[in-house]
Structure 1
Amino acid sequence: MLTGEYRVSLDDKGRLIIPSRLRSAIPGDSLVLTRGVDRCLWLFPMEDWRALSSSLMEAASPFQKKARLLQRRIIAPAQEMDLDKLGRVNIPGTLQEAAGLQKDCVILGIEKYLEIWDLDEYQRYYAETEEEFQEAAEELGGLVSF
């Protein structure tokens, strides 16, 4: 399971080290990197990416405006990545730019995928959504049982 919050640095060549705890939960070395819905990147193990992209493609027709929008923003920029021997993933410049990645980054494990945020952008997002988070917790809390 991919969980946790990790601070990492983007090196001069645009690479991020995926923490070993996360790497050990990723089957194989192939991942897919794409834009997230928020100003972040999503990094999927290959099997989970295939499930998501197939679902997006099958659920919507290319004749539907909103379907094309999702396909263009999520599927089109997706790139297959391999972890190198040191557990690093190369972030292409276009995706760095899309997420506003600078030097300091945050990796979030969201069970089936990872989110990669610029640290300042994530801190801003976190602060701006505090009230919304509290409302969501109240609203959805009754649906969760454990």
Structure 2
Amino acid sequence: MFFGTYTPKMDDKGRLTLPAKFREELAGGLVVTKGQDHSLAVYPRAAFLERAQKAAAVSRTNAEARAFVRHLAASADEQFPDGSGRITLSQQHRAYAGLSKECVVIGSMDFLEIWDAASWERYQAETEEQFSTAENTMLEDLM
């Protein structure tokens, strides 16, 4: 499981150092793909393959399912962190997420999200009220 907020800097080559506490879980490989709200999603390789198998099983006659599978598969970039825990983000991924040098990596339970720092701040400000409302709703549903 991935928790917390970290603020690594991306270098000019698009390399980003992943938080040390996550490196063991990602040592077997990882997959970077488009995430929601113009973030990037980083899954442990095994978890991504499981997700991909489930997505592939959905009927392709459904236009939304077809679009989801295409975006998921086309944007997937399998990687292995180097000895320093760095991954290289493709130009396409950097453009999609609007990444600058200042990045934020957040734990999102079963995967990581990579955000541009300014975009993350805006997102938090815009969704603070939703967080409070959702917490109450989700807790009711879970209990």
Task: Indicate the TM-score class for this superposition, using the shorter chain for normalisation.
Answer: over 0.9
Distance apart, 1:27 and its partner CA: 4.6
Q: Which residue is equivalent to 1:48? A: 47
Q: Which residue is equivalent to 1:37? A: 36
Identity between Structure 1 and Structure 2 (%) = 35
Q: Matches of 1:27 and 1:103 in 2, distance apart?
A: 24
Pairwise mapping of residues 93-112 of structure 1 onto structure 2 (< 5 A)?
A: 93-112=91-110
Residues 51-80 of structure 1: per-residue CA shift (max 9 Å, x gap):
11111111x222210011111222221011
Counterpart residue type for residue 40 of structure 2: L
Q: Check the 8 A contact 1:3/1:22 in 2, yes or no.
A: no
Q: Which residue is equivalent to 1:6? A: 6
Higher alpha-carbon deviation: 60-69 or 5-14: 60-69
Higher share in strand = 1
Counterpart residue type for residue 16 of structure 1: L
Q: Matches of 1:94 and 1:14 in 2, distance apart?
A: 11
Distance apart, 1:88 and its partner CA: 0.1
Distance apart, 1:101 and its partner CA: 0.6
Q: Matches of 1:111 and 1:133 in 2, distance apart?
A: 16
Q: Check the 8 A contact 2:25/2:44 in 1, yes or no.
A: no
Counterpart residue type for residue 25 of structure 1: E
Q: Check the 8 A contact 2:27/2:81 in 1, yes or no.
A: no
Q: Check the 8 A contact 2:31/2:43 in 1, yes or no.
A: yes
Q: Check the 8 A contact 1:2/1:25 in 2, yes or no.
A: no
Q: Matches of 2:22 and 2:142 in 1, distance apart?
A: 26
Q: Matches of 2:6 and 2:119 in 1, distance apart?
A: 15
Unpaired runs of 5+ residues, structure 1, are none
Unpaired runs of 5+ residues, structure 2, are none
Counterpart residue type for residue 47 of structure 2: D
Residues 68-123 of structure 1: per-residue CA shift (max 9 Å, x gap):
11112222210111101111000000000001111101101122211000000011
TM-score relative to the length of structure 2? 0.94
Pairwise mapping of residues 56-135 of structure 1 onto structure 2 (< 5 A)?
A: 56-58=55-57, 60-135=58-133
Q: How many residues are paired up?
A: 143
> What's the RMSD between the two structures over aligned residues?
1.3
TM-score relative to the length of structure 1? 0.92
SS in 2 for 1:71: helix
Higher share in helix = 2
Moved segments of 4+, more than 2 Å: 24-27
SS in 1 for 2:25: coil
